[in-house]
Amino acid sequence: MRESGVVGVVAVIGIALLSVVGSPAGVRGQADESNAEVVEAIEDALELFEQKRYTRAAHLYAVADELSGGTSYEALMGLARSHYALGRMGVAAEYAFEAMELGPPLAQRAEACMLIGHTYLDPVTYQDQVPGTEMLVPEREKNVNMAAGFFRQAMQYASEASPDAWLHLAQAFELAGESEAAIKLYQGYLEHDPEGEHATEVKASLKKLRED
């Protein structure tokens, strides 16, 4: 795959992360209601995130994390999303790992896995080490394989009813040049959600892969 094609697919994945996986819209009201200060900090951070004021949002999510004693999934994932939006991939992955270590429900574990997977696919070269691995980025092939592994794990957590996991795993395989695997996964997405938000995009990807 040509470099421009790789960057283009990664750009689509990044947009999908913020609009589907990483969007904090569903977080509102899910914080620990026994700590009003944590709830308020997360609410304020969410508003800033939605305004694309990511640095300030990260600061308030950090306040919420400190107030919760590191026990708030919403605060940790808010930090992960904010740092992802700021291009700090290693930091974003670290916070997502911390969120997973809290043992949240499976759907939230899937969300964290998908965000971690996306950090490996970012087109920007970054030098911080991603927790849980011994590799330093950028190593494109290894990164794509690692991303695919996290997307597979997300699929296991979310079950086959999660078409988004099929989509992102397909994109990872497309990046890796594994066309047959990508085609099967894109087809799986359409089978699970034929009229889904990304159906048109998936059909275009299928057409391109079959023509190559």
DSSP 8-state assignment for residue 24: G
Q: Is the pLDDT of residue 48 over 90?
A: yes
**Is-contact 171 9, C-beta < 8 A?**
yes
Look at residue 144 and give its three-state secondary structure: helix
**Is-contact 112 74, C-beta < 8 A?**
no
Amino acid 184: pLDDT: 85
Among 10-14, 50-54, 119-123, 168-172, whose mean pLDDT is lowest?
10-14
14 is written with which tokens? 């990044």
Nearest to 183 by CA among 198, 173, 193: 173
The reported pTM is: 0.65
Q: Is the pLDDT of residue 122 over 90?
A: no
Q: Provide Rg for the chain, Cα atoms.
A: 17
16 is written with which tokens? 């999908």
Left, alpha or beta for 196 (phi > 0: left; psi -120 to 50: alpha)? beta
Amino acid 79: pLDDT: 96
Residue ranges of E strands in the chain: none
Confidence of residue 51 (pLDDT cuts 50, 70, 90): very high
Token pair 């998908």 in the structure block, residue: 114
Confidence of residue 140 (pLDDT cuts 50, 70, 90): low
Alpha-helical (H) ranges within the chain are: 3-16, 36-50, 54-67, 73-85, 89-101, 106-119, 140-158, 163-176, 179-192, 199-211
